[in-house]
């Protein structure tokens, strides 16, 4: 079996924009104690300030439109937008702001503050470079994916329902994957 090596990425210094047309945040959560519901936030924006000479100085700021949640089930999406979960009327965005970047270009760890519903907690993302190069219009592009896990109750997302057979409707652990 062949091993797969992550592509090296050399980024120009300066501010890079998160490309909203090619970026999204996906999540998975246990549902009914027997399955996993997957969804995504399709409206993602932000900046990455790169210092390739010292990755530790790199800063990342990502803003996610909470109302852009999509689990492919309109009734569930409406409930997730409600005050029981994201309360998008009061808290329209989720935000990640890096505080520390460690590792090297092939093994990055980005630690930062994730804010959901006005609650901020530190999380660490495992970041994988996906490649970079010029697009057909001469622009420089770079792709990364990042993963982490959070406990939704740490962010005030406490709504749940006890099931008749035992257990709860919605699991606490949320697996998150960001792609660009």
The Cα–Cα gap between 47 and 100 comes to 15
pLDDT of residue 9: 59
The Cα–Cα gap between 153 and 162 comes to 15
The Cα–Cα gap between 148 and 177 comes to 7
pLDDT of residue 101: 92
pLDDT of residue 124: 97
Residues in the chain where the model's pLDDT stays below 50: 1-7
Backbone angles phi, psi at 98, to 5 degrees: -70, 150
The residue among 123, 66, 64 whose CA lies nearest residue 98 is: 123
- Domain boundaries defined on the chain: 14-179
pLDDT of residue 20: 86
pLDDT of residue 8: 54
- For domain 14-179, say whether CATH 2.40.128.110 is its number: yes
pLDDT of residue 105: 66
């Amino acid at each position: 079996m062949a091993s797969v090596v992550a592509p090296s990425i050399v980024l120009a210094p300066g501010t890079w924009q998160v490309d909203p047309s090619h970026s999204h945040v996906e999540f998975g959560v246990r549902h009914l104690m027997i399955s996993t519901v997957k969804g995504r936030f399709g409206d993602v924006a932000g900046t990455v300030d790169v210092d390739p000479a010292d990755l530790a100085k790199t800063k990342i700021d990502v803003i996610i439109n909470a109302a852009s949640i999509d689990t492919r089930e309109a009734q569930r999406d409406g409930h997730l937008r409600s005050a029981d979960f994201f309360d998008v009327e009061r808290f329209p965005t989720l935000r990640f702001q890096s505080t520390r970047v460690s590792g090297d270009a092939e093994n990055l760890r980005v630690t930062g503050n994730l804010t959901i519903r006005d609650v901020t907690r530190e999380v660490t993302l495992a970041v994988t470079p996906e490649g970079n190069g010029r697009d057909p219009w001469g622009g420089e592009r770079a792709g990364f994916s990042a993963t982490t896990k959070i406990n939704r109750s740490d962010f005030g997302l406490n709504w749940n329902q006890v099931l008749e057979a035992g257990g709860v409707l919605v699991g606490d652990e949320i697996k998150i994957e960001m792609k660009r």
